Chains A and B, each alone.
Chain A
């Protein structure tokens, strides 16, 4: 049940990113809801299911986006794995720590995505655009996290009870 809800949550996040979030762009940048979703999957599920959810989110993002298919399918489970490993070493209970974590992951996600795109012969984005999008997207995504937690937390807890 909990997994089913999370699948729906990821699906809604993906659809929102491709539709409504365009109206909430800040300096032409919108938050990466799917990155938040898979980060939460890493916090709420065991490795196996978090991996499956990460792959699902990656497929969704790559299907809707213009990047070469597979970048997010590979990256999202990687972030899930890293979050699970990190949560074993340090407690990631506080919202602020989670926000910092999402911010760092967001930056690395952008750098790796662009590097893969560059290596695969894609257009080289100018440094100014790269820095603007990377920094703002990560910041915006981190800022949205508490709101997403407010939505998903009660649902998951109500299912557990």
Chain B
């Protein structure tokens, strides 16, 4: 027992001496530290585990608190991300409003059609703000729809993909005219195109100004497909609207 203690003491003394010498002689420092690296790692590991067991409850509580904090921060980050997106959208709307040649009223979408047979949105501005039935609705991308009903503080807007919606339009490149109507889906249809109509896929479609309500040159969408009517007398074009109608959040009503 004594022998073991004496032997151990000698080892400890040698190690201590080496550590002490390593601080005095720089070149000894590296081999000593390299040798002691693994015992240090092992001891640190043991210490960490022991501390983990001893302070289990404290760590557990701390962990719970931190988890909650992470959730809170994540939520805050999401909210801020949403605010950032809204800020970008509003900035674009404001820029458009300032640059637009029309007098426009900005409004926020607060509701949508409850049935599947129509495509309309409800906005938070009404007669009190100067909105009247028949006014045209746009956003910074292009044509959105038309006001079909107003109350004091809200208005209903029929979107361009509603089957009841129709607007006189033309191909920007060739000035070929037709009638754009909604299909209830995500695309529009341009009808009454003659067989020899100069229209191609990816052509831009704009309002022609023939319908009194709609100013000329409002962007509607781009041609994605061209087909022939069943009668064979005319052609039609499928148009992808420039405005993402399914998630529209702000609109501008053109005041006449």
Q: Which residues of A contact B (CB under 8 A)?
A: 14, 17-19, 22, 25, 28-30, 32, 34, 61, 64-67, 110, 113-114, 117, 122-123, 125-126, 129, 133, 137
Contacts and interface: CB of A to CB of B under 8 A. Distances in A.
B114 interface: yes
B227 interface: no
Nearest to B156: A66
Nearest to A140: B116
Contacts of B112: 18-19, 22
A125 B117 contact: yes
Contacts of B115: 17, 32, 61, 65-67, 113
Nearest to B118: A66
Nearest to B184: A129
Q: Please provide the 10 A-B residue pairs with the shortest distance between their CB atoms, ordered closest to farther.
A: A17-B114, A66-B118, A18-B111, A123-B164, A18-B114, A64-B114, A123-B163, A133-B116, A65-B115, A66-B120
A133 B117 contact: yes
B153 interface: no
A29 B113 CA distance: 11
Interface in B166-214: 183-186
Contacts of A61: 114-115
B236 to A, nearest CB: 12
Given A126-B183, A129-B163, A64 B113 contact: yes
| Interface residues of B, dominant DSSP | loop
A113 B114 CA distance: 14
A129 B162 CA distance: 12
A125 B184 contact: yes
Contacts of B183: 126, 129
Given A22-B112, A67-B115, A28 B185 contact: yes
Contacts, number: 67
Contacts of B163: 123, 125, 129
A82 B184 CA distance: 31
B123 interface: no
Contacts of A64: 111, 113-114, 122
B158 interface: yes
A55 B111 CA distance: 22
Contacts of A30: 116
A129 B185 contact: yes
Contacts of A18: 111-114, 122
A76 to B, nearest CB: 13
Interface of B: 111-118, 120, 122, 148, 156, 158, 162-164, 183-186, 246
B254 to A, nearest CB: 21
Contacts of B162: 66
Nearest to B114: A17
Pick the most buried of B116, B148, B164: most chain A CB atoms within 10 A of its CB.
B116
Nearest to B115: A65
B113 A66 contact: yes
20 contacts: A14-B114, A17-B115, A18-B112, A18-B114, A19-B111, A28-B185, A29-B116, A30-B116, A34-B114, A64-B114, A65-B113, A65-B114, A65-B115, A66-B113, A66-B158, A66-B162, A66-B164, A110-B117, A129-B163, A133-B184
A30 B116 CA distance: 7
A129 to B, nearest CB: 5
A132 to B, nearest CB: 9
A113 B163 CA distance: 15
Given A28-B116, A66-B156, A133-B184, 20 more contacts: A14-B114, A17-B114, A18-B111, A22-B246, A28-B186, A32-B115, A64-B111, A64-B113, A65-B113, A65-B120, A66-B113, A66-B148, A66-B162, A67-B117, A110-B117, A125-B163, A129-B183, A129-B185, A133-B117, A137-B116
Contacts of B164: 66, 122-123
